[in-house]
Amino acid sequence: MRNLLAFSILFLFLPVSAPSQSAGNASAFGYANFSAQSKIETQFLAVPSARLAGEELKSLTAQPHMAATPEDHRTANYVAKRFRAAGLETEIVPYRVLLNWPKVVRVEAYDPAGHLLMTGPTREHVHGDPYQNNPHVVMPFNGSSGSGDVTAEVVYANYGRLQDFNKLADLHIDLHGKIVICRYGSNFRGVKVYLAEQRGAVGVLLYSDPRDDGYYKGDPWPLGPWRPATGVQRGSVQYLFKYPGDPETPGVASTLNLPVSNRVSPYGSQPHIISIPLSYHDAAPILEALRGPGVPQGWQGALPFRYHVGPGGVRVHLVSRQDYQRRIIWDVIGTVPGTQYPNDWVIVGNHRDAWVYGAVDPSSGTAALLEAAHGIGALLRSGWRPKRTILFCSWDAEEEGLIGSTEWVEQHAKALDHAVAYFNVDVAVSGPDFSASAVPSLKGFIRGIASSVSSPLGGTVYQQWRNSQIHRNEQKTPNIPPAGADQIRVGGLGSGSDFTPFLQHVGVPSTDIGSEGPYGVYHSVFDNFAWYTQNADPHFLYLQEMARILGLEALRMADADVLPYDYAAYAHEIGAYIEAAKSKATQAGLKSLNFAPAAAAAARMATAGEKVRDREMAASGDLVGLNQALRRTEEAFISPAGLPGRPWYRHVIYAPGEFTGYSAVDIPGVNEAIDAKNASLAAQQLDVLTQSLDRATNALDSAR
C-alpha cells in the first residue's frame, strides 16, 4: 500500500558507532556471548537464494490477485505450501470483511457547448507489455469509494492537501457541489477525498501527474521505470486515520462466526462521495479545458499547457456503482515454537494481495519473506530451535485498508502483550537503495542488522545505506540534513502498511524495511514481472538481500539474552518532539501551555534508560525480569482511551496524521490539538503524555 513518493516523515539523526555487528563479530547488543549465535547467523545467511526468490516472485505475479479473489486464494495456498516445506507449523486463517468491487466506473467530460472532451477510464496499455491484456486485470477504481451518478463543474486542488484546500478558500472558490481533481502525492489519497468531502464536493478525480512519477522524471515504461500515459494508480480511500481494518468491526476481529449484530455501520471510516483514479492521459483533456484563475505558485504540473484552478470550461459526469459485500480473505501464519519463552512472539509480516500483479508491491516482500522462512527452515533441519516463538505472517487485504493484519491483531490482542517485535516488509525492492524505519528503541538494532549483511554492491548493507544517504545529501535532497561520519538515518513509523495495528493499537515495537529506486508504476497493471526484471532487480540479488535482513531480524531478536531495545535513545527523541511542539504552540499563540512536566518526564525516562542500558550490555542477572520490564516500557505508551476523536489509535507517541495519512505525527494528541488551536485539549494531552512517560520510567526503574 505504502506510496513512497508520498511518505514524508520526520527523521532524527543519532550518532552510532561504525558498523561492528556483523555475524562474524564477537559481540552484539543483547547477547552475553555472541560467538555461538554468530555461527548460527552465518549458517542462516548462506541459505536465502536469489534464484529461488526470482522463481517465487514469478509464481506470485503470474496472475492478478486482488484480495478475496480465487487468484488471491491460490497465492495463499502457495505461501502455505512454502511455509510447510520450510518446516513451519502453518494455518490459513480466514476473515469475513466488507469489500467493494467495481461494477461500473465511468468518467465523461464536456465543454460548455456539450461537446465530449474525453471518456474513460482508458484501458492501461503500452506497446509490448506482456501482462497488460489479462482479463483478470481489474478496471481502475478506488477501494471504499462511494457509489452514485453526478455531473458538476470541476476545480483543480493541486495535491489535495489541507493547505491546498485552504488556498482555494482564500481564492473564494466554493467547492460545494463541485468535482475536485487533484494529483497523487504528498499525502494519502484517502485524505484528499476526506478534505474534499468536508468542503462539500460531490466527487473526486485522482490522477498521476507526469511531474511526479511520469516522463518528467525520466523514460516511462517500457523504455524506463516511470509511469506511462495510461498508467493508473488504484488504491483505497478508506479513512485509515480514523481506523484501519474491516470497516464494520473496529476493535473486533471479523471472524467467520462473528454475528451480524456485532457489526457497525462503516459511516465514520469511509467516504460517501465518488472517487475515481485516472491516468494523466485521461486527466489531460479535463485540466486543459479548465478556466478560472491560473494556478498558484507550485501547483503547475508537467502536462504541456498552463493549469487553471476552475471552475469553468468543463463539466464532468461521474458514474460509480460499487458492489459492497462481505467477502472472505485469507491470512497465512507459519509458526516456529520457541523453547524457552514460547509466549514471547517475534512476528515477521508482509501482505500478499495486490491491486493487479504487484511485482514490487507487495510480491517482492512476499518473495523475501519466503526466502527468510527458507533460511529458518534450514536451521530447523540442523537441529536449531529459537528461544522465542517466531511467526511468519502473510497478510491479506492490506491494499483495501490494512485489513488482514488488523483483524489478526484484534483477534490476538491479549497474546500480543508478550510479543517482543513486529518486523514488516511491504514494498521490499524497487531498486538498490536500502531504507528502514523503526521505533526509536530499535533504530540501533536495525543498523546492527544492516551491518551484518553483505550488499550486492560490495561491503555491507550498512555501508551502502550510508553512502546512499550521503549521495542524496550531496544532491541536496529536501529534508535530509547533512550526515556526519557516523550518522545514518532511520525513519519514524507513520502508517500505510501492516506495522500500524501492531505498534499503534497494541504497542508492539516495530520496524519496516525496503530497498528503493525509481518506481513509477505503483498500483498499476505495469507493476509486473517484466517491469521488475528490467528496472528493479534483474538478478534478484536485492530480494536475496532483503530476505537475509528480514530473517536476521527475526533470528537475532528470537535468540537474544536481553531484548535489544534502547530506551535512552527513545526518550531523547521524545524530548526533541516535546521541544518542537513547544515552539509550534508559541507560534500558534498558545503561550499558556506548560510543557515543563512532559519535558521533565522525558528527561527522567532518558536517565532510567541509560541506567538500564548498562544492565542490557552486561546481559547478566535476572534476565527474565529485565526483559519483562523492557517490554512493558513500550506498552506504557498505549493509552486505553486512545487519541481524541479516533480511539482506535492508542499510541501517544506515534500515529498517522489526520491530514497526512501515511506520514507520522509525533506526540499526536498534543500536536493535533495545537494545530486546532485547542489549548484545553492540548493541556489534557500533555498530561496524558506525561503520565505515559512516567509509566515508562517506572517500568525501566523496576529492571534496575
CA distance 388 to 223: 48
Instruction: Examine residue 25 and state whether it is found in any structural domain, yes or no.
Output: no
510 and 467 co-located in one domain:
yes
Residue of 398, 399, 516, 616 marked active site: 398
Whole-number pLDDT of residue 484 = 44
Q: Which residues pair with 92 in a beta bridge?
A: 332
404 and 504 housed in the same domain = yes
Q: What is the pTM (predicted TM-score) of this model?
A: 0.94
Q: pLDDT for 354-408, tens place per residue?
A: 999 999 999 999 999 999 999 999 999 999 999 999 999 999 999 999 999 999 9
DSSP-assigned states of every residue in 502-532: HHHTT---EEEEEEE-----TTSTT-SHHHI
Average pLDDT, the chain: 93
Question: What is the distance between the alpha carbons of residues 237 and 191, in angstroms, rounded to a whole number?
Answer: 8
20 neighbors 29 (Cβ within 8 angstroms): no
Q: Are 597 and 9 in contact (CB under 8 A)?
A: no
| Domain presence at residue 3 | no
Within 10 angstroms of residue 157's Cβ, the number of other Cβ atoms is 27
Are 111 and 231 members of one domain? yes
251 plus 300 within the same structural domain: yes
Q: Is residue 7 a part of any domain in this protein?
A: no
Contact 569, 14 (CB under 8 A): yes
| Residue 477 CA: distances (Å) to CA of 15, 430, 469, 581 | 21, 19, 10, 25
- Which of 559, 579, 611 marks a domain boundary? 559
- pLDDT over threshold 70, residue 518: yes
Helix (H/G/I), strand (E/B), else coil: 47: coil
Which of 55-59, 390-394, 479-483 shows the lowest mean pLDDT across its residues?
Answer: 479-483
The answer to whether residue 672 sits within a structural domain is yes
In angstroms, the CA 175 to CA 148 distance is 18
Residue 381: inside a domain, yes or no? yes
Cα separation, 659 vs 665, whole angstroms = 10
Question: Residue 6's pLDDT is what?
Answer: 36
In this structure, is the dihedral angle defined by the CA atoms of residues 628, 633, 635 and 641, taken in order, positive or negative?
positive
Do 106 and 181 share a domain, yes or no?
yes
Instruction: With residue 427 as reference, give the H or E element that holds it.
Output: strand 421-429
Rounded average pLDDT over 314-324? 98
Tell me what the mean pLDDT of segment 281-297 comes to: 97
Residue 41 and residue 556: Cα distance in Å, rounded?
8
Confidence label for 449 from pLDDT (cuts 50, 70 and 90)? very high
**Cis, bond preceding 121 (omega within 30 deg of 0):** yes
For the residues 584-602, what does the mean pLDDT come to?
A: 96
- Say yes or no: 50 and 122 in one domain: no
Classified as helix, coil or strand, 652 is coil
> Which residues, in sequence order, are bridge partners of residue 204?
180, 275
Look at 461 and 26; give whichever has higher pLDDT: 461
Residue 232 sits in the same domain as residue 207: yes
* d(C-alpha 463, C-alpha 455), whole Å: 8
pLDDT tens column, 127-158: 999 999 999 999 999 999 999 999 999 999 99
Mean pLDDT of 99-106: 98
CATH classification at residue 292? 3.50.30.30
Closest-CA residue to 3 (of 159, 151, 127):
159
Determine the pLDDT at residue 5.
Answer: 36
| 400, 387: one domain | yes
In this predicted model, what pLDDT tens digit does every residue of 415-427 receive, in sequence order? Answer: 999 999 999 999 9
Q: Please, which pLDDT band fits residue 486 given cuts at 50, 70 and 90?
A: low
Q: Are strands 388-395 and 341-351 parallel, antiparallel or unpaired?
A: parallel
**56 and 367 Cβ atoms separated by less than 8 Å:** yes
For 84-94, what is the mean pLDDT? 98
Domain with 630, as residue range(s), is 567-701
Residues 6+ apart with CB under 8 A from 135: none
Is the confidence at residue 14, as pLDDT, over 70?
no
Q: Where a domain ends, among 265, 300, 325?
A: 325
CATH code assigned at 598:
1.20.930.40
Number of domains in the chain: 3
Written as nine digits, the cell of 383 is 537441529
From the list 580, 405, 415, 557, the residue with the least C-alpha distance to 492 is 580
Residue at which a domain ends, from 268, 295, 325 = 325
Q: What pLDDT is attached to residue 456?
A: 96
Same domain, 340 and 472: yes
Q: Which residue carries 461537446 as its cell?
A: 115
Statement to judge: residues 446 and 478 lie in one domain:
yes
Mean pLDDT across the stretch 551-576?
97
Spatial contact of 142 and 234, defined as CB atoms under 8 Å apart: yes
> Does some domain include residue 633?
yes
Q: What is the pLDDT of residue 7?
A: 33
Contacts of 200 (CB under 8 A, 6+ apart): 174, 175, 176, 177, 178
Adjacent-strand bridge partners of 235: 142
Bridge partners, 93 (sequence order): 331
pLDDT at 285 over 80: yes
Q: Which of 651, 609, 353 is nearest to 495 (CA)?
A: 651
Helix (H, G, I), strand (E, B) or coil at 182: strand
| 337 and 321, same domain (yes or no) | no
Decide which of 477 and 177 is more confident: 177
The answer as to whether 690 is a domain residue is yes
Tell me, yes or no, if 579 is annotated catalytic: no
What would the 3-class secondary structure string for 244-266 be?
A: CCCCCCCCCCCCCCCCHHHCCCH
549 backbone dihedrals φ, ψ, rounded to 5°: -65, -45
pLDDT (mean) for 509-516: 98
Cβ contact 281:237 at 8 Å = no
CATH of residue 64's domain is 3.40.630.10
In terms of domains, do 389 and 399 share one?
yes
Place of cell 458538476: 152
CA–CA separation, 492 vs 514, rounded Å? 14
Residue 5 within any structural domain of the chain: no
Q: How far is residue 46's CA from residue 66's CA, in Å, rounded to a whole number?
A: 34
Which three three-digit cell numbers place residue 237?
480511500
